[in-house]
Amino acid sequence: LVESWSFLDTAESDFRPLVVIELAKGTKGETIEWFTKRIVDKKANGGAQLLIKPLVTENGVENIYLVGASHLRLLLGAETVGLVKECSDNSMRTFTYSSRKTFKHFADDNHSFLTMAECQYIIKHELENLRAKDEKMIPGYPQAKLYPGKSIVRRLLTSGILVQIFPLHDREELKKLSHSWYGRVKVGYQPLDDIRCYFGETIALYFGFLEYFTFALIPMAVIGIPYYVFAWEDYDKYVMFATFNLLWSTVILEVWKRICAILTYRWGTLLMKRQFEEPRPGFHGVLGINPVTGREEPVYSSIKRQLRIYLVSLPFVCLCLYFSLYVMMIYFDLEQWALDYHKENESDFSSLMLYVPSIIYAVVIEIMNRIYRYAAEFLTSWENHRLESSYQNHLILKVLVFNFLNCFASLFYIAFVLFDMKLLRQSLATLLITSQILNQFAESLLPYWLQKRYNRRIKKRMCSKKTGVDLSLAEQVNMEKEMGTYLGTFDDYLELFLQFGYVSLFSCVYPLAAVFAVLNNITEIYSDALKMCRVYKRPFAEPTANIGVWQLAFETMSVISVVTNCILIGMSPEVDALFPDSKMDLVLTVALVEHLLLAIKFIMAFVIPDKPRDIQMKLAKLEFESLEALKQQVRAFQMQLHFLLIHH
């Protein structure tokens, strides 16, 4: 058996570096030797059977290694991770090596059948699944314990021996992508398929959502503009706008599910089977037997975790919420002070001063959000969740609740306690615009500028006048390893989520919010693209079939906005005037309308199918085929069995 895998080694000639491994400076020789041996070792010996080469720079070997794999190895890896590709008959199927000839664009010498991002994903998967056999610890580091089945790479990462693993940029491809993506000012769609090929599905889906969301906001923005231009303040026009807004937001969220299904079907991730989830790297506990897998692995009592969540995290979150409300009250004091100042000495300066408290408050909100984010991450990782998904859910819940309150509490207070629509409009505009400017600056432009300055310094040090494309491999690796790491789409979605809140929660008061959102999102596409291509290290591709918990978050926001908008409309003096005799009738009417709108929303969400008909048909066809295949298998097996029963 050992022999049967050896032919893979013969293909070593076409070494193409795909992934970079950076070890800590001063890593012991025996560790490096053991680790690289495990990486190149044959599958049958428990290795990953990949190719690895040290990076030789002018300063000699720097503990940086390049990992690649033979073409055949990658194809087998594609089968292991369950990649779904398009067949010659245009259907999507799970790739298997034995059926490789049926796939579109497959040829044994066509090395671009798998995209580079896919190759890198495969290598990452293989590296992470390199597991300890009988090692009790990492050679040379007795404190870094291992046990059978523990992922070696994860242990190396948590014990600091492995600094980072990251995929290499393909500077040729990147140049092409960035040109078609943001290189020229153009009207049209983003090259989503190219983005997906280069950055993977999670990031492509984020940009798809960003683009879709921007387009979906345009009708709202277009309808919102005349309200500003003609200073419409009639009740019936606002009601119309709000009603349109509420139904529209339901429709766009439902339609997104369909578009998402179309995209991910084309990309193959809609069909990809979920892999069994391994414990997350940071998870720790005493060694025990996992009741599900029967394997030896760290076990951490669920009661202890619950105690940490309810006795520490929950009180801490409540404290943060209280602090956020406290800061809000200070803002209102400031606001009052600015108003008094404006009344006393009326001037251009003092009327400008009216906006200052809101701007300061917006900045403080952003800062608090960011600080809280770190605290939430720390707390959630201290809660010691076993699975990455459970960690993510707890983190997202913590962050969403706080950000929602932090951003919108003052608006709720102004709207429903102070009843001051003018202040609400002003406050909403200031918060929205300030947070958008801050975000764009902090997220893309600042890192871009820092990165650029750093690159110049590096280049100067290397005394080379080359442009980015002509850099040698060593120079490229050295430059990329210093770039920031993209931490996932969380913050990008959060920003859109808060923006959606600004647009929809008080839409009947400030129809112009949608206009600002559209403008922001257009520049956001460019700045996020810039960030992905120029500022950060290339991230590993992550297959995904949907935007996950964010769908639920956006839907919840749209339900809350029905309530707020109905109350706002009910409170407006124009509506009040329609019911001169009885306030009671007014409130009952508003409540009735609200419940009707909510009912319509739920019915719409129920009636609009989540997947377009043709995707449904394709999925049904695949399911039918796999059931048929299973039936055939069972039948063949039964036949065989009976044959044996008779002849023996």
Residues in contact with a second copy by the rule CB under 8 A: 1, 3-5, 7, 76, 79-80, 96-98, 275-276, 291-293, 563, 583-584, 587-588, 591, 595, 617, 620-621, 623-624, 627-628, 631, 634, 637-639, 641-643, 645-646
Q: Return the HEC string of 126-147.
A: HHHCCECCCCCEECCEEEEECC
349 vs 637, beta carbon nearer a second copy: 637
Extract the tokens encoding 416: 């429903």
Backbone angles phi, psi at 142, to 5 degrees: -60, -25
| Burial annotation 406-416 (CB, 10 A radius, 16+ → b, else e) | bbbbbbebbbe
In the complex, the smallest distance separating the C-beta of residue 631 from a second copy, rounded to whole angstroms, is 8
Query: Which residues lie closer than 8 Å to 404 by C-beta, 6 or more apart?
Result: 498, 501
141 vs 404, beta carbon nearer a second copy: 404
In the complex, the smallest distance separating the C-beta of residue 583 from a second copy, rounded to whole angstroms, is 5
Place of tokens 């442009």: 467
In the complex, the smallest distance separating the C-beta of residue 293 from a second copy, rounded to whole angstroms, is 5
Cα gap 437→440, rounded to integer Å: 5
Extract the tokens encoding 215: 């387009």
In the complex, the smallest distance separating the C-beta of residue 106 from a second copy, rounded to whole angstroms, is 16
- The alpha carbon of residue 163 and the mean position of all alpha carbons in its chain are separated, in whole angstroms, by 23
In the complex, the smallest distance separating the C-beta of residue 587 from a second copy, rounded to whole angstroms, is 4
522 vs 627, beta carbon nearer a second copy: 627
Work out the burial of residue 519: count CB atoms within 10 Å of its CB; fewer than 13 is exposed, 13-18 middle, 19 or more buried: middle
461 vs 648, beta carbon nearer a second copy: 648
In the complex, the smallest distance separating the C-beta of residue 600 from a second copy, rounded to whole angstroms, is 15
187 vs 303, beta carbon nearer a second copy: 303
CB distance 81 to 122 below 8 Å = yes
In the complex, the smallest distance separating the C-beta of residue 165 from a second copy, rounded to whole angstroms, is 23
102 vs 350, beta carbon nearer a second copy: 102
97 vs 441, beta carbon nearer a second copy: 97
Residue 574: C-alpha distances to residues 417, 433, 590 (Å): 19, 29, 13
Q: How many CB atoms lie within 10 A of CB 390?
A: 16
In the complex, the smallest distance separating the C-beta of residue 550 from a second copy, rounded to whole angstroms, is 16
Say how many Å lie between the first and final Cα of the chain, rounded: 31
List the one residue out of 48, 11, 36 whose CA is nearest residue 124. Answer: 48
54 vs 548, beta carbon nearer a second copy: 548
CB distance 241 to 227 below 8 Å = yes
